[in-house]
Homo-oligomer: A and B are copies of this chain.
Amino acid sequence: MEDIHVSKRHPRAESIRIRERLTGHIETKVLALAGLIAHGRGEAFDYILGEETTPSAKTAITAAAATLLLAEHPVLSVNGNVAALCAEEFVELSEATGAKLEVNLFHRLPGREEAIEAVLREAGAGEVLGVDGSATARIKEIFSDRRTVDPRGIFVADVVFVPLEDGDRTEGLVRMGKKVVTVDLNPMSRTAQFADVTIVDNVVRAMPLLVSEAERLKASSGEELKRILDAYDNARVLSESMETMLKRLGKLSERGVYLEPSEG
């Protein structure tokens, strides 16, 4: 992106750069306006979390990589925020795990699918599902008109990676019997709660780690991968994230002097 003009020394330079990247993608149609509000919610939770990948998030990242590698038909679901922030890592994760890429939108506005597909292609993607009218299968488990998926992708997948997903839709996927892996900064969201593996982290920090974990575990046997999953406890990961947030809020509160998510 050419719109990066924030001093590197600004204490919140990174989050300001991410904001500019997202607002720039309103014009390209990759992002819907609601995506900006969702990003703001994420920022607040990330701030409370400490803006770091926690040890339990790392545990979840390892389990996520193992789940994707063990899957028969894994699919990586790409929405606007994800395309704007980490298209390259999605392509790399697809290559490392053999998972298909599917554009899967809550707000299917004219031109959006194409814009997201273009971002993925530019990042090196080959096959992209869910575009050009290919999202023709309806998930009856999702009670809204935003439930169409690609019959070659999410519809037949056994494992779906759906970061930053809407709660209703995650619930629908779980009801269909799919294993769901997600990234969500709010451990209390329904997506975080319903998923089989929840990475409570900023998607920008988590994706490179997930890619390298998938590459590292690629050579492992099915047995080894299964052992990772047997030892994994998502409820514990969620409650550890809550504890991290509670501790940090408590510490900030005691200190009485605060930093802030810098206001736009």
Residues of A within 8 A of B (CB): 19, 22-23, 26, 32-45, 48, 106-107, 164-167, 186-191, 193, 235, 239, 242-243, 245-246, 249-250, 252-253, 256-264
Contact = CB atoms under 8 A, between A and B. Distances in A.
Nearest to A262: B167
A190 B258 contact: yes
A184 to B, nearest CB: 9
B37 A19 contact: yes
Most interface-central of A33, A252, A256, A263 (chain B CB within 10 A): A263
Contacts of A249: 242, 245-246, 249
Nearest to A81: B264
A43 B42 CA distance: 10
Contacts of A35: 264
Q: Is the interface of A mostly helix, strand, loop or mixed?
A: helix
A253 B189 CA distance: 12
The 3 closest A-B pairs by CB, nearest first: A40-B40, A34-B264, A44-B44
> How many monomers of this chain does the complex have?
2
A178 B230 CA distance: 61
Contacts of A257: 193
A261 B36 contact: no
Contacts of A42: 40, 44
Contacts of A258: 187-190, 193
A45 to B, nearest CB: 6
A245 B246 CA distance: 9
Contacts of A164: 263
A186 B263 CA distance: 11
A80 to B, nearest CB: 10
Nearest to A106: B264
A19 B186 CA distance: 19
Contacts of A187: 258
